[in-house]
Amino acid sequence: MTGPHDEADGLAARAEALARELTALGRVLVAFSGGVDSTFLLRAALAALGPQNVLAVTLDPPYASRAEVAQAVRLAGDLGAAHEVVPVAFPEALRDNPPERCYLCKRLLFSRLLTRAAVFGQAAVLDGTNRDDLGDHRPGRKALAELGIRSPLLAAGLFKADIRALSRRAGLPTWDKPSAACLLSRLPHGARVDEAALGRIEGGEALLRAAGFPAVRLRLHGDLARIEVPKGRLADLVAACQSGDLLDRLRRLGLRHLTADLAGYTMGSFNEPA
């Protein structure tokens, strides 16, 4: 049976393993989304290697959340990191949201990062994969392995709970940030994607977060929007939509039919291949 000291020692050992992993790399480019994992990784890389040896890059395709990109810019500035935002045109291979979307997207985007890393002194490209990701449906990991992308958090044996704990200890504002995913994950496989639909999804989720639902997904099925919040908040969601103007504001985005998913918030409910 392990006690609190054993757990603390294990966390410290994994943090030290991460520092060794990063130090051995010498010069790195961090794929930076501004989420829990990439923010902690960027801070750790800056501490281990110094700002002169670290470049954060945020790739910005149309299906990335505008709010998430803006937050990544703010976080990189707060951390004192050199940071670039690179716009990416909508890849035609993803226009019909195919089942292999994540693989195709990661292959395309991280190829761009490898090109930029070569210019930045042959730097290693890092992503924020951790041990919890091994138990999830993550087809994009195949692309990362094929491209030789490094995952120091995974190599150091860090779990998501470890990263949150260490982020909190470091004073990072992302320590309790809900998990995020690209806006394509809100659409069924095979659904033709247009930027207007992506705007409705992002706008609807922003309204719901402002109404007090930080963990939320708005999934589109044609003209029906399926809202996911944690099971314990379903009654709150119904009450919020029945009072005030939340329902009207959602409808003004073009969301004609709105429903609450009785199964509650589920990460990656569209992830499984058809």
d(Cα 243, Cα 228) in Å, to the nearest integer? 19
Those residues with Cβ within 8 angstroms of residue 100's Cβ, 6 or more apart along the chain or in another chain: 139, 273
CB burial class (10 A; 0-12, 13-18, 19+) of residue 2? exposed
pLDDT at residue 274, as a whole number: 37
| Whole-prediction pTM | 0.89
Which stretch of DSSP H or E encloses residue 86?
A: strand 82-87
What pLDDT score was predicted for residue 243? 87
Fill in the DSSP letter of residue 220: E
- 52/49 Cα distance (integer angstroms): 8
Architecture category of domain 4-169 in CATH? 3-Layer(aba) Sandwich (3.40)
Position 223 scores a pLDDT of 86
pLDDT tens digit at each of 274 positions of the chain: 444 445 777 999 999 999 999 999 999 999 999 999 999 999 999 999 999 999 999 999 999 999 999 999 999 999 999 999 999 999 999 999 999 999 999 999 999 999 999 999 999 999 999 999 887 667 788 999 999 999 999 999 999 999 999 999 999 999 999 888 899 999 999 999 999 999 999 999 999 999 999 999 999 998 899 999 999 999 999 999 998 899 999 999 999 899 999 999 976 555 444 3
